[in-house]
Amino acid sequence: MVADFDTIDININVGPQHPSTHGVFRMVLTVDGELVRDLDAVVGYLHRGAEKLLENQDYRQGIGIQDRTEYLAQFPAEQSYVMAAEKLGGFVVPERAEYVRVICVELNRIASHFMFMGAYGTDVGVFGTSFIYGFRERERVYRFFEELTGERMMYSYFRVGGLAWEVMDGFEEKARALLQELKRGINDINGLLTRNEIFIARTRHVGEISAERAIEYGLSGPVLRSTGVRWDVRKDEPYSVYDRFDFDVPVGEFGDCYDRYMVRLEEMRQAVRIVEQALDQMPKSGPIMPEKMPRMLRLPAGEVYVPVESARGEYGVYLVSRGGNHPWRCRVKSPCFTNLQALREMTVGEYVADSVVILGSIDLVLSEVDR
């Protein structure tokens, strides 16, 4: 007599210490054999009250909190925060400072994307070589930033009104030399991964999401543009001096893991174009802060929201002031938190082995998600 067996779904914990996850994050997968039937994303392990901390710091001290909220693309986080304060206070940033900010932000974007490339090649299981390539180029950028700011990661270099101090001697020459090295690094990653059969098999048509659903979820950055939606805050809501540069907004077709990789790869090339134009246009001399800037900044009452295009999408800072030297309320719009909302839809119906590949393609920074 043959016994009847019931098929049951099994729950699998991936994280919060699993070596394949990006940061302290937990996925609870409901699986039927090798297929994912449901996914529950568990966040909050890195929550430290960053927004409340910002409300108890003056406007200069708060810049350091922003660095630690987005620790892979710190300059866009700094930029959004100081631009919000500048908008409240009515400060006009000197032109030279604006160009230096753009150069820092775009080099930071390249460094962040190299981190993604290095880790993602390892996630997919192609080569450890991608990790070496990615971190080699990221290190070049970090050395440049260390000479400029004195720090490798937590820069606190932007200030409300401009910059903390003047750039180092030979800034332009060193930046141009860095760009030449980064171009070679981009070509190395491209040659290693883009046409690799294993990489394509693991990423093409895996974790797809449509443009319509991406918009409904409120996705932004490379995750949104991989679906074919050509939305970039630098182009569609220009800020700083981005309207002076000629650059393209790369998009994908299928909204899958491969397209998310390709969009970031092309974004690095476009970031190089922007930095080259910024170096050409940047005034050779001039102030980096407005005249008669007060030592202790006190902003008038009001509220403002300022978004920027970070490496992961629309990073925005909402400030409410009631006067005084610190915000009354401060909220951060996290592109990673928003993009994470689509993880379940991307993963359900895929193989368990692909869940980490899909998670990696979103390029999360968990300290930004949890704040």
Instruction: Specify the DSSP class assigned to residue 167.
Output: P
Task: Give the Cα separation of 172 and 185 in Å (integer).
Answer: 20
Cβ(93)–Cβ(289) below 8 Å: no
Mean pLDDT of 127-131: 82
pLDDT at 277: 95
pLDDT at 268: 95
DSSP string, 189-224: HIIIIIT-HHHHHHHTTSS---HHHHHHHT--HHHH
pLDDT at 14: 77
pLDDT at 22: 56
Task: Give the Cα separation of 77 and 69 in Å (integer).
Answer: 8
pLDDT at 163: 92
Per-residue pLDDT band at 3 (split at 50, 70, 90): low
Look at 116-125, 164-173, 327-336 and tell me which has the smallest mean pLDDT: 116-125
Q: Which of 323, 123, 271 is nearest to 206 (CA)?
A: 123
Task: Give the Cα separation of 262 and 361 in Å (integer).
Answer: 11
Q: Write the pLDDT tens digit of every residue in 158-185.
A: 999 899 899 999 999 999 999 999 999 9
Q: What are φ and ψ of residue 31, in 5° steps?
A: -120, 150
For residue 197, with 0-12 CB atoms within 10 Å meaning exposed, 13-18 middle and 19 or more buried, which class applies?
exposed
The pTM of this model reads 0.91
The CA distances from residue 167 to 147, 150, 342, in Å, are 9, 11, 41
Q: Residue 307: is its pLDDT beyond 90?
A: yes
Q: Write the pLDDT tens digit of every residue in 43-69.
A: 888 888 888 888 888 888 888 888 888
CA 258, 259, 262, 263: dihedral to nearest 10 degrees?
-150
Burial 279-288 (b: 16+ CB within 10 A, else e): beebeeeebb
Mean pLDDT of 347-359: 89
Architecture of domain 49-370: Orthogonal Bundle (1.10)
Task: Give the Cα separation of 216 and 228 in Å (integer).
Answer: 14
* Sequence letter at residue 263: V
pLDDT at 42: 87
Residues 6+ apart with CB under 8 A from 59: 85, 160, 297, 299, 325, 326, 327
Helix, strand, or coil (residue 58): coil
pLDDT at 235: 92
Cβ(142)–Cβ(134) below 8 Å: no
| Mean pLDDT for all residues in the chain | 89
CA 270, 113, 87, 369: dihedral to nearest 10 degrees?
150
